[in-house]
Every structure is written in C-alpha cells, then in structure tokens.
Amino acid sequence: MNDWPKYYHNQLIVNNPSGIAIVCGWTKKELIWNNLSGEARKKVSIIGQLYSKEGINYIIRNIFLNPGVKALIITGSDLSQSLKELSDFLDSGHSDVIHPEIPEEKQKQFFDYFSGRYKSVGLQELDGHILGLEIEEDDWIVSPEDFPEHRTVIVNTFPSEETAFRVEDKKIAGAWLKVLDRIVKFGKEKMSSYDEPQRELLNILTVISEDVSKDPFLPDYMYFKKEDLLNYYPQIMTDNLFEGIEYTYGSRLRNHGGIDQVRGMIDELKRERFSRRAVAFTWSVEKDFNNPKCPCLDIIQAIVQNDKLFLTAYFRSNDMYRAWPQNAYGLLAVQEEIAQGLGICPGKLTIISCSAHIYERDLKEARDVLSKHKDLLECVYDPRGSFVIRVEDGEIVAKHIDPNGLELQEIKGRNCLEMRDRLAPFISDVAHGIYIGTELMKAERALKEGTEYVQDA
C-alpha cells in the first residue's frame, strides 16, 4: 500500500492503511489532524479536503483501491456545496458528477456499504465520535479495484500574444463567456500545484461596466443562482471567519491586523478625491510568504474619475470557471459600498487575473456552455465610440461619435490604408475594427468605381 492513495497523494494526510476516511471540505486538513487526540488518530486512515463536487470521484476511486477503509466521516466548512453533494450521494445512491468510467454497479456497491457507515459530524464532536466508532474487521471488498481513467477531451491551443488579454462587457455573465472562450482557444496546458492539469492564460484583464451586485444578471448558462451569491457575499463583505477557515477576503480587507481597510479607502477618498492611495491588501508578508495557502486575491485599489468610483483588483491565481464570477460579484459589492460611502456612482470594475485558468475537470462543461451560447460572445459597444462613414468630394469621411451620441471629430482620407492608420487609435474592440475595415474597403471601391456607397448597419 506504499503507493496508496493513487489520486492527490501529496494533498492528503495518510496515516494508517485501514480505518476511517475523513472528508473535511474547505476546513484545513492539518487543523483537523492537530485537534484529534492520540487515540482518535490511531483509528484514522486518511484525511482530505473536498473543494469541488468533482472530487467525489477521486474519493470513490481511492477507497476502491484500499479495502481497509471502512467508514466515512464528513466534517468542516462546505463553501462550495461539495460536502452536501457527497452526503446526498451516500443518502440516495445518485449523483450527476460521478464519472461514467466508474460502473454503475460499482457506484451501487460503494453506496450499499458506506450509506450505513458514514456520518456528518461537527468539528467539536469529531474526536468523541471517532473514539466511539466501531470499525469492522472484515474488508468491504475482496481486493483493490481500479477503474479506467476519466476520458478528457484532447485540446489544441492557438498562437496568441501570450499575456495581457482584455475582455469587456456590460455584465459579468457576458464577460465570463468571453473569458472561457479565450482560455479554451489560447490557454496553455500545464500542471497545477494541486496535481491537477489546467489550461491557463496569463493576465486576463476583465472590465465590467453595468452590472449590479444586488440585482445580478444571471442567465440560465450561469451555474449558480442569486441565493448562492447571497451566501458568498459575507465572505468579502464582512470580517466574519467561518469555523476551520484561516481567513476570508473579507477578514483580510476589513480586519487586517485590526485595520478596516475598506473603511480606510472611503475615508481617504473623502479627504482627497484625487488620491491614489486608496488601496487595500489581503497579503500579509509575515503570514503568506512561502505559504501554499496564501490568498488568491491580493490587492484592490479605488480611484475617483469623472465623479465615478472605479475599482481595480489583482488576483495572483483565479479559477475562471468555478470562482471568477462570484469573485467579480463580490468585488462589485465592495465597489458599490465604497461609492455609496462617497455619495457617487460606481464606474467600471477592472479585474486582473494573473494565472487565469480552467481546471481540466471543468473544460468539457466550459466548452458546452460556449457551444450553446457562442452567439452572445462579441456583442459589445466599443467604448471609444463608433463611426458613420460616407464618401464625399473624392474622399472617405468618418464621423466619430462617442458612446453618448456626441459628435467628436471627422477623419478624412483618400483610401482605405490612410483611413486605417488614422482610425486605429480610436478603436478598441476587435470585432468593431473588422467591421470598420470592411466598410472602408466598400467606400474605397465606391470611390474608384463612381458608385453609391451605403454603410451597413
């Protein structure tokens, strides 16, 4: 059994070859282990965290490889509903997240045995429950059983600029589709520090202009509901700590060494509207240097411009499929709080995600979402304005109009190439640029042929 467990070996605490398996959700496994008495530890085989529902597959796979595991205990914080999914499976025998490579009869065998040999236990009762638990002597299966590896889609990647990918949308949901699209098309495959493959882009910069945290736009393709957001907000909008959790973004932003940094940002901008010092950090050098559990969100900065409150956030690491949308809404709520404290409206929210990744387990779902909603990807108004193009007196004329309909300037040129170079600085959106290029070619042809030019809507 020296090579057991097969999956996520370096992410687990392995004690005895037989006994109890403890699944502890988001609560640190080290905290669980350190709080157990010596006698309780003797009965524990393995302890591991369950961050996502997908991880249930690897619990089943690892236990099938060790007949000595004969009881399950579920405990700790359940921030992603993964523990609930596991307990529901053990109560009903059904879960939509189980890999098809684990045969249905084996799923039933696991359920039949462990449905009567598992319990959800609070952290305070854990030690006593373990000490009172009778462990059966006979193994629950005759010999270890392995299953075929989960088949994942083999993906290709396209050449790209490698870093600094800009995405903008009015709504978080729309930006999320574009983020998934960029990672699926251009992301690089590499391992993560969690022994799990990922697809990663560097420095995705997302800009959100019109969403609202209290009335979020959550179309059907989003995997969570408003209720899930309301449960998430306290993790960033309060300094509350949850049992077994070392910190939250809220605790670091609002009670970092006794300092409420969000309140401080408001006070700073009240004193000096043009201040560039309204900054808050979650990172603690003393605690987080060389700490594998350091915060993913590291810094936020608020700046007032055009009498609006703009917020910029930096993530060192961001799960763009499972975490980014909630992260974005949480930051939107913080931005609204600061803006309200100043008596002004929020401006745009900017999020920089350095390691912007999708884990391999989520790639198929990401592709499915994109295939069903790809028509929504690039529908955005260019924030630098639009152009009304005409042909007049032997020239191409482009009237530049801002997003509010104000006429800004007229730009003229004798051909498509001259106009391309003069218009380029005023175009930020690729789709808009392609459209303008098409219209300039039509206008140049009309000039050469002496025909009428009509701009397409």
DSSP letters spanning 415-432: SHHHHHHHHGGG---HHH
Q: Report d(CA 420, CA 418) in Å as an integer.
A: 5
Nearest to 56, CA basis, from 26, 21, 82, 32:
82
Using DSSP's 3-state secondary structure scheme, residue 90 falls into: helix
CATH architecture of 9-132: 3-Layer(aba) Sandwich (3.40)
Quick check: 378 pLDDT over 60?
no
This prediction has a pTM of: 0.69
Q: Which long-range contacts (CB under 8 A, 24 or more apart) does 438-446 make?
A: 439/389, 440/389, 440/396, 440/416, 441/416, 443/389, 443/390, 443/391, 443/396, 443/416, 443/419, 444/396, 444/415, 444/416, 446/391
Contact call for residues 282 and 246 (beta carbons, < 8 A): no
Quick check: 155 pLDDT over 60?
no
CB atoms within 10 A of CB 63: 24
Q: Would you place residue 245 in the very low, low, confident or very high pLDDT band (cuts 50, 70, 90)? A: confident
Instruction: Locate the domains of the chain by residue range.
Output: 9-132, 163-376, 386-449
**How far, in whole angstroms, is CA 385 from its chain's centroid?**
31
State the virtual CA torsion across 143, 148, 150, 152 in degrees, nearest 10: 160
* pLDDT tens column, 9-41: 989 999 988 899 999 999 999 999 999 999 999
Catalytic residues, which ones? 296
Superfamily of 163-376 according to CATH: Thymidylate synthase/dCMP hydroxymethylase domain (3.30.572.10)
Contact call for residues 317 and 280 (beta carbons, < 8 A): no
Same CATH topology for 9-132 and 163-376? Answer: no
For the chain, the distance separating the N- and C-terminal CA atoms, rounded to the nearest angstrom, is 68
Q: Report d(CA 218, CA 214) in Å as an integer.
A: 12
Mean pLDDT of 68-86: 93
